[in-house]
Structure 1
Amino acid sequence: MRIAIYGAGSTGCYLAGQLCLSGFDVSLICRPAIKQKIITHNGITLSDYQGFLHTVMPPAMITDIEQAPSAYTPFDVVFVTLKCHQVSSIRDSLIAITHSNSNSSIVFMQNGLGSFDSINESISHCTRLQGITPFNVLQQPNGRFHKGTEGVFTLQQNEHTQTIQTAMQAQGFGCDLHQDMAPVIYGKLLLNLNNALNAITDLPIKQQLSQRDSRRQLAGAMTEWLSVCQAANITIHQYTKVKPKWLPVILSLPNVLFTILAKQMLDIDPHARSSMWEDIQAKRKTEIEYLNGAVVRLGKKYGIDTPVNSTIVEKIHQREQQL
C-alpha cells in the first residue's frame, strides 16, 4: 500500500511517523522547510507525554506536487492534513495522484465543520473518507513532533483503513475506526472549542485549564454548541468519561473540585498548546471559521444565541489582522 500525507505539518508528520513505523511506504507532500528539517535531523522524531521516543526516516518527501502532480505514481491512500481553508485548492492535485479506477481512498483529516463539504462532491473517482486527530501535536526543535495529550488517530472505516488499523495496532499504536464519522466530528468540535481560547490566553493548555475564568469561557462556548446540537437534533460522540452535557458543569467548578474530578483532563504534557496557538505564533491564518465560527453559523440557522463563540471568533480575527 502506497500512502501519501498531503500537507505534512505537525499532525501530518506524526501520522507519517507512525505509519512508517507500522511498515508502510509513506511519502510526505510537504513544504521545503519541513523536508529540510527532516533531512537535517535524520528523520522524523516522535515523542509523547508518556515517554515514547523514536526516530524514523520517511521513504520519500515531495515538495513540487502542485507543479507536476501527474509525474508521480498514483497513491492507494492519501491523507490530507492541510488546514481547513486550504483543502478546496488541491482538488486537481488529488485527482492526479490517485487511481482513476476507484481503487484509491482520500482521508480528509481536518478539524471543525465545512471543509469536507467544500471538496467532497467535486471528487468522484475514489473513496472519500474523513478522519480526526483527537490529540495535540506540537512541533519542536530538531525535527521532533510531540504528542502532548491522550488519544489515537480516528478514521472512517473501509478496507484501506482496516489494513492501516491492523498494522498500527501491531506496533502498539492505537487507531479507532467508525462507520459514521458525523457524531465523531461533532463531538470533537466540542473539545476543539478550546483551541482558540488557548491561543487567546497564550498559556500551555494545562495551565490554562487550571484557571477558573478561562474554564468558564470554555464552558460557555461548549454550552452554546450543545444547545445548537439539541436544536438541530445532532448526535455527538462522547470522548471523555462523562457525557458531553456534563463537561460545562465540571469546567465551571471551583479549582479544588475541578482538580479532583478532572484528573484525566489534566493528564497532559505541561507544555502542550493548541494548533491554533501554533498558527498564531507562526503568523498563519487560523481555522477559527470552521470551529467556533461554525457554532455561530449553525446557531443563527437554528435560532440559538452564541455570544461566547462570537466573541472568541472576533478576538482571533483581531490577532490574525496583526499578522
Structure 2
Amino acid sequence: MKIAIAGAGAMGSRIGLMLHQAGNEVVLIDRWPDHIKAIRENGLIGEFEDHKVTAHLPIYSPEEIVDGHANVDLIVALTKSMQLEAMFQDIQPIIGEKTFVFCLLNGLGHEETLAKFVPKENIIFGTTTWTAGLAGPGHAKLIGSGSIEMENLAPQGKAFTLEVLEVFQQAGLNPIYSSNVRYSIWKKACINGTLNGLCTILDCNIADFGSLSIARNLIESIVGEFAAVAEAEGIELNQSQVIQAIEATYDVNTQGLHFPSMYQDLIRNHRKTEIDYINGAVWQKGKNYQINTPYCAFLTQLIHGKEELLKAK
C-alpha cells in the first residue's frame, strides 16, 4: 500500500517506520526543517528498546508536495491538531478520488476539518496507545508496545478500512476494528486531558504523577467534566473504566516513564500545544451546553500561560 504520513514527528516516525519495515511504500511529510534534513542525510533512526534501525524514507515538507507526486492510497494524519487544516491544504496534490484518510490525532473536532478535503466515506477515525519520543531530528525513541483502534466514519468505507487493518496487522501495530470509535476517541481525550496537561504543569513523567496523593482527585474531577460534556453529545462515558485506563499508564514497565507529547512539545521544545483541542474543547463545548467545567478551563489557561512564559511557537 502507498501511504503518506502527514505529520512525521515522534508518533508519525514510529508508525511510518513500522509500515515501511512491513514492505509498504511510505512517504513522510513534516514541517520541521532540521528533521527533514536529518532524515535525508542519515535516514530515519528508530531506537527500539533492544535494537536500533535506520530506514531511508523519502520525506517532504508540505510545500514540496506538487502535482507530479502520484496519489497515495492512504494518508495517516498525525499532525498537531492546530496544524491539520493547513497540512491538508498543502498536500492536496496527493489526494485522489480513492485516497482514504486515517485520523489518529489527539483531541476532538477533526471530522469537520477532514470533510473539506475528502468525502466522509473516505475517512477512518482511530486512537492509539503506542508511545514515541524524539531524541533529536531524525531520531525516534520507541519504547513499549501498544495498539490501534480504527473504524470507518461512513458504512461505505468499511471494506477499505479492513484492508488498512490488515496492513497495520502485518506491520505489528496491533490494530483492532472498532464498532464505537467515537467512544474511544472521547476516552482517549480523557487520558490526554489528564496526563498531558498535568504532567506538563507539574514537570513530571506519568509514573511520577501517578505517585502523587492528589492524582486520583485530579483525574476524577477532570474526567467528570469530560463525561458531562460527552453525555450532552450522546456519548455515555464509563468514568470508572476511563479512570482505570488512566491509572494503568502509571506502570513503569509500560508507559510510566514516558513524558506525554504535550510535555515534549512545550517543556522540551517550546512549541505550542494542543490544549485547545483537548481540555479547551471541553471548556468551550461546556459553555455551549451550559455545563460548568472549571478544571478544564483552569488547566487550559495554565498551559497557555506556560506557553507565554516559554515563548512557545
Query: Do both proteins adopt the same fold according to a TM-score greater than 0.5, normalized to the shorter chain?
Result: yes
- Equivalent residues of 1:13, 1:44 under 8 A apart: no
Instruction: Give the equivalent residue in structure 2 for 1:258.
Output: none
Q: CA deviation at 1:173?
A: 3.2
* 2:16 and 2:26 in contact (8 A); partners too: yes
Tell me the alpha carbon deviations over residues 214-271 of structure 1, each in whole angstroms, 9 at most, x when there is no partner.
44222211121122233443134xxxxxx533555998xxxxxxxxxx5664243453
Residues in 2 aligned to 1:288 and 1:142: alpha-carbon distance in whole angstroms: 24
Matches for 1:255-270 after TM superposition, within 5 Å: 265-266=250-251, 267-270=253-256
The aligned residue for residue 55 of structure 1 is 53
How far apart, in 2, do the equivalents of 1:126 and 1:234 lie?
A: 22
C-alpha displacement of 1:292 = 0.5
Query: In structure 2, what is the equivalent of residue 107 of structure 1?
Result: 102
Q: What's the counterpart of residue 195 of structure 1?
A: 196
- Distance between the aligned counterparts of 2:219 and 2:68, measured in 1? 47
When the two chains are superposed, the root-mean-square deviation of aligned CA atoms in Å is: 2.7
Matches within 5 A, 1:166-177: 166-177=166-177
Query: What residue is the counterpart of 2:128 in the other structure?
Result: 133
1:301 equivalent in structure 2: 288
| Deviation, structure 1 residue 52 | 5.1
Q: Is the 8 A contact 1:148 1:271 kept in 2?
A: no
Give secondary structure in 2 for the equivalent of 1:107: strand
Are 1:18 and 1:173, in contact at CA under 8 Å, matched by a contact in 2? yes
Once residues 161 and 58 of structure 1 are traced to their aligned partners in structure 2, the CA distance between those partners, rounded to angstroms, is 27
Note the C-alpha offset of 1:305: 1.4
Offset of 1:67 from its aligned partner? 4.5
Distance 1:122 1:270, change over 3 A: closer
CA contact (8 A) 2:63 2:91 kept: no
What residue is the counterpart of 1:313 in the other structure?
300
Give matches, 1:87-98, under 5 Å: 87-98=84-95
Greater shift in the superposed pair: 216-225 or 90-99 = 90-99
Task: Name the SS of the counterpart of 2:125 in structure 1.
Answer: strand
Deviation at 1:41, TM superposition (A): 4.6
Write the deviation string for residues 91-150 of structure 1: whole angstroms up to 9, x where unpaired. 333432122xx3111122211112332342453497122232333321124844234465
1:9/1:304 Cα in 2 relative to 1: closer, same or farther (>3 Å)?
A: same
1:21 is displaced (CA, Å) by 1.4
Matching residue's letter, 1:89 = A
Contact 2:183 2:235 in 1 (8 A): yes
Task: Provide, for residues 247-299 of structure 1, a one-character-per-residue CA deviation record: whole Å limited to 9, x for no partner.
Answer: 55998xxxxxxxxxx56642434531111111112111111011001111222
Amino acid of the residue matched to residue 227 of structure 2? L
Name 1:116's counterpart in structure 2. 111
Q: Percent identity?
A: 23
Q: Is 1:208 paired with 2:209? A: yes
Q: 1:68 to 1:41 in 2, by over 3 A?
A: closer
On the 8 A contact 1:295/1:309 being kept in 2, the answer is yes
User: Are 1:81 and 2:78 an aligned pair?
Assistant: yes
In the aligned structure 2, how far is the partner of 1:5 from the partner of 1:225? 30
- 2:275 is the counterpart of 1:277: no
**TM-score (normalizing by structure 2):** 0.85
- Any idea what the Cα deviations from partners look like across 1:196-218, whole Å, max 9, x if unmatched? 11111111111111112244222
C-alpha distance in 2 between matches for 1:223 and 1:122: 34
Q: Distance in 1 between matches of 2:170 and 2:164?
A: 10
Question: What CA distance in whole angstroms lies between the structure 2 residues aligned with 1:156 and 1:21?
Answer: 24
Q: Distance in 2 between matches of 1:310 and 1:46?
A: 37
Greater mean alpha carbon deviation, residues 297-306 or residues 32-41: 32-41
Letter of the structure 2 residue corresponding to residue 290 of structure 1: Y
Alignment of structure 1 residues 35-50 onto 2, 5 Å: 35-39=36-40, 41-47=42-48
Count of paired positions: 301
Q: CA deviation at 1:44?
A: 3.0
SS of aligned partner of 1:233:
coil
Question: CA separation of 1:271/1:40 partners in 2, compared to 1, >3 Å: closer, same or farther?
Answer: farther
Gap runs ≥5 in structure 2: 153-157
Name the CA distance, whole Å, in 2 between partners of 1:84 and 1:25.
Answer: 25
For 1:275, the aligned partner's letter is S
